[in-house]
């Protein structure tokens, strides 16, 4: 199985426990590339698992959810879709099912990695360059599909949330992180 360049970490904010398992990825310099809201939150990549895919969308609407900036001011009518994740069955599968049952609030960290990037003359390493952070997240659906002639069962998870931050960190020619772009949206129902 090929290594993925999409990593996921989910933490139960009520219980302070990680729902996801260990990744084989090791990123020494990752905190330099993460947004300040994520630095130090996941000190190494042990809480991460590798995904086989993901999908997210949002669209403008005349009704429904409203996006606001950090001050609570309404900035636009944006209706978010759930975050859709695809992964192999692993040790996180029963923990995700438990979170679906309990309805506990979660924090979700999703990172995309650039493979084989050199950081300041060191060994080639993978570094994060884009990601999502979801707060007040809930697992709203978990599906498992498998075919009798295949050993590789797939899991599909849908996650809703109230706050989403997306970030992008370019890498400069010297291997160091460039100026980061961040967008944070908080969603709530119209009054």
**Strand ranges in the chain using DSSP code E only, listed in sequence order:** 6-12, 17-18, 49-50, 53-55, 58-60, 66-68, 74-76, 78-80, 83-88, 106-118, 124-145, 154-160, 163-168, 181-188
In the prediction, which pLDDT does 43 show?
47
Q: Cα 25 vs. chain centroid, distance in angstroms?
A: 15
pLDDT tops 50 at residue 2: no
The answer to pTM > 0.75 is yes
The residue among 122, 96, 85, 107 whose CA lies nearest residue 162 is: 107
The mean pLDDT value for 6-10 works out to 84
Give the model confidence (pLDDT) of 29-53 as tens digits. 555 666 676 665 554 556 778 899 9
The neighbouring-strand residues paired with 58 are 80
CA distance 182 to 162: 17
Q: Which two tokens stand for residue 136?
A: 């007040």
Give the model confidence (pLDDT) of 103-159 as tens digits. 999 989 888 887 655 555 555 567 788 889 898 999 999 999 988 877 788 999 999
The mean pLDDT value for 7-27 works out to 73
Residues comprising the chain, all counted: 191
DSSP letter for 43, please.
S
């Amino acid at each position: 199985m090929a290594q993925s360049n999409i990593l996921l970490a989910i933490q139960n904010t009520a219980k302070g426990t990680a729902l996801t398992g260990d990744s084989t990825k090791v990123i020494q310099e990752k905190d330099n590339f993460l947004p300040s809201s994520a630095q130090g939150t996941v000190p190494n990549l042990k809480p991460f698992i590798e995904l086989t895919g993901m999908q997210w969308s949002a669209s403008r609407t005349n009704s429904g959810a409203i996006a606001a900036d950090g001050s609570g001011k309404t900035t636009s009518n944006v209706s978010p879709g759930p975050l859709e994740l695809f992964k192999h069955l692993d040790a996180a599968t029963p923990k995700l099912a438990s979170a679906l049952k309990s309805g506990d609030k979660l924090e979700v960290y999703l990172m995309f990695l650039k493979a084989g990037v050199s950081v300041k003359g060191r060994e080639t390493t993978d570094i994060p360059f884009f990601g999502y952070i979801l707060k007040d997240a809930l697992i709203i659906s978990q599906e498992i599909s498998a075919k009798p002639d295949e050993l590789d069962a797939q899991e599909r998870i849908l996650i809703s949330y109230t706050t989403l931050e997306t970030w992008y960190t370019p890498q400069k020619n010297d291997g160091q992180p460039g100026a980061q772009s961040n967008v944070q949206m908080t969603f709530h129902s119209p009054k």
